Amino acid sequence: MKRILVVASTFPAHDNDPVPTFVKDQIIAMKTNMPNLEFAVLAPHDSRSNTKSFSKHTTYNEYRFHYIWPRNLEKLAGQGGIVPSLKKHPWLYVVIPFFLMTQFFAVLRLTSKINPDIINAHWIIPQGFVCTLASLITHKKILATVHGGDVFTFNNMIAKFIKQLVLKHATEVVVNSSATKKRCLEIYNDKEYQVIPMGVNLNTFSKIPLKKPKSSSLNVLYVGRLSEEKGVKYLIEALKILKQQGDKFKAQIIGSGPEENQLKKLALSSKLTSEYIEFTGWIDRKKIAGYYSKADIFVGPSIESDTGWKEALGVVFLEASAAGLPIIATRTGGIIDIIKDGETGFLVEQRSASEISNKLIELQNPELRKRLGKNAQSYVNKNFSWESVAERYNKLLEYIKY
């Protein structure tokens, strides 16, 4: 058995946790593809859930560490990501040193206990940095997985030094898209970066029948965090244009976040009542496929934020493609790795409500929706299944000498 210690700051506390599941999904897929791998996961405790310090699962053992007292202040990680948590609660900056220190000692303790062959650190900051420091003591090899936000944001001199240190020291570095690879090369160019995306559970989405041609009344879907960088305001402005032209549509916006109240106010001021737009809040992941099945079009209007953040990949685009939906998305970050303009959907310039509305009008054609959706489903099935992702990860692990 080869032991892999996975260190992450975002990991679901239970099956119904709204926290993104891609790290967990990757572990399950890799274990299925290569049964001789043994996984342990180290993640921070989450004040929202009654997380245990140790829990045993079918495909991995889960370890949690505390990083601040009182425990109800453990809000830095596990609730949508560290950066969004810092934006929502700026006082959490004072928690960062405690988080780094406790995670460092947790890595040392767990490495001593289970003796992993390799440590897979998800995100350069903070896990990559912490695991790099720990490896100076343990001499364990580091596989760093870069998800994008960790290289697109935190751009001061200290953070840049840390990123260079991790990228240089890591035995192997996996990036999730061409955009993330480009950014890593800008930070440290003396490295071979392996592009392996996150995947999608095809069994959950691809069993949904492809849409049959129907009327020009559109069911528009957005799924994701309601934050500035997701650009949802431009979707609402595009829908306002459609309403003014008398077009028929119903939009569902699934998710929550710091911009939720402002977006609801924008919808009301645009006279987009519940007849035209519905804010559902977060939806149980087990139910989300049903919302894709009812939609005609998926819109993801992400933008590049002032902090440098951009959509490194976008799992929701994979889900929508697997469900056979044509997609309207912005020409930013790693989105271009998923959406092929004019073939599986349309790419528009960021912050352009008019371009979004024009493409929505174009997609009133049911035959066009069907063709693009079929192409999207075929493309994601071939390139982004968890089976193919796991196979590529496992091949990479075979090259690493333990």
3-state secondary structure 95-147: HHHHHHHHHHHHHHHHHHHHCCCEEEEECHHHHHHHHHHHHHHHCCEEEEEEC
- Is residue 192 domain-shared with residue 217, that is, in the same domain? no
Judged by DSSP in three states, 305 sits in: coil
- Is residue 157 domain-shared with residue 240, that is, in the same domain? no
* CA 39 to the chain's CA centroid: 21
Angle between helices 386-399 and 22-33 (to 10 degrees): 70
What's the pLDDT tens digit per position in 7-39?
A: 999 999 888 777 888 999 999 999 999 999 999
What pLDDT is attached to residue 206?
Answer: 73
Give the domain CATH number at 102: 3.40.50.2000
Whether the predicted pLDDT of 212 surpasses 90: no
What's the pLDDT tens digit per position in 127-149?
A: 999 999 999 999 999 999 999 98
Judged by DSSP in three states, 279 sits in: strand
Identify the domain containing residue 338 by its residue range.
203-383
Residue 37's H or E segment, with its range, is: strand 37-44
- The more confidently predicted of residues 50 and 391 is 391
Q: How far is residue 371's CA from residue 34's CA, in Å, rounded to a whole number?
A: 36
- The more confidently predicted of residues 61 and 397 is 61
What pLDDT is attached to residue 77?
Answer: 84
What's the pLDDT tens digit per position in 145-199?
A: 999 988 998 888 999 999 999 999 999 999 999 999 999 999 999 999 999 999 9
Angstrom CA distances, 301 to 11, 128, 179, 249, 293, stand at: 26, 30, 17, 18, 20
Strand positions, DSSP E, 228-325: 249-254, 277-281, 297-300
Backbone angles phi and psi of 255, in degrees to 5: 135, 175
Q: Which residues contact 297 (CB under 8 A, 6 or more apart)?
A: 218, 219, 220, 221, 325, 326, 327, 328, 360, 363, 369
Whether the predicted pLDDT of 214 surpasses 60: no
What pLDDT is attached to residue 83?
Answer: 77
- Is residue 248 domain-shared with residue 100, that is, in the same domain? no
- Is residue 69 domain-shared with residue 133, that is, in the same domain? yes
Give pTM, 2 decimals. Answer: 0.89
Among the ranges given (235-244, 282-291, 349-358), the one the predictor scored with the smallest mean pLDDT: 282-291
Q: Which residues contact 402 (CB under 8 A, 6 or more apart)?
A: 2, 117, 118, 141
Q: How far is residue 14's CA from residue 21's CA, in Å, rounded to a whole number?
A: 10
- Is residue 150 domain-shared with residue 226, that is, in the same domain? no
What's the pLDDT tens digit per position in 341-381?
A: 999 999 999 999 999 999 999 999 999 999 999 999 999 99
Q: What is the DSSP letter of 7?
A: E
Whether the predicted pLDDT of 210 surpasses 70: no
Q: How far is residue 187's CA from residue 215's CA, in Å, rounded to a whole number?
A: 50
Q: How far is residue 263's CA from residue 241's CA, in Å, rounded to a whole number?
A: 16
Q: Indicate the burial class of 141 (C-beta count within 10 angstroms; 0-12, 13-18, 19 or more).
A: middle
Q: How far is residue 239's CA from residue 267's CA, in Å, rounded to a whole number?
A: 9
Q: How far is residue 362's CA from residue 356's CA, in Å, rounded to a whole number?
A: 10
- Is residue 139 domain-shared with residue 230, that is, in the same domain? no
- Is residue 156 domain-shared with residue 212, that is, in the same domain? no
State the sign of the Cα–Cα–Cα–Cα dihedral 371, 376, 382, 386: negative
Structure tokens at 104: 């460092």
- Is residue 142 domain-shared with residue 160, that is, in the same domain? yes
Judged by DSSP in three states, 246 sits in: coil
At 207, is the pLDDT very low, low, confident or very high (cuts 50, 70, 90)? low
- Is residue 213 domain-shared with residue 362, that is, in the same domain? yes
State the sign of the Cα–Cα–Cα–Cα dihedral 252, 296, 333, 392: positive
Q: How far is residue 212's CA from residue 400's CA, in Å, rounded to a whole number?
A: 48
- Is residue 59 domain-shared with residue 172, that is, in the same domain? yes
Q: What is the mean pLDDT of residues 279-286?
A: 87
Structure tokens at 126: 């903070």
Bridge-based pairing of strands 60-65 and 54-56 is antiparallel
Q: Which residues contact 348 (CB under 8 A, 6 or more apart)?
A: 301, 328, 329, 330, 331, 355, 356, 359
At 215, is the pLDDT very low, low, confident or very high (cuts 50, 70, 90)? low
- Is residue 39 domain-shared with residue 186, that is, in the same domain? yes
Report the 10 Å Cβ neighbour count for 72. Answer: 9
What pLDDT is attached to residue 66?
Answer: 95
Length, in residues, of the chain? 402
Please state the domain count of the chain: 2
- Is residue 42 domain-shared with residue 179, that is, in the same domain? yes
Q: How far is residue 164's CA from residue 360's CA, in Å, rounded to a whole number?
A: 42
Average pLDDT, the chain: 92
Cβ(292)–Cβ(350) below 8 Å: no
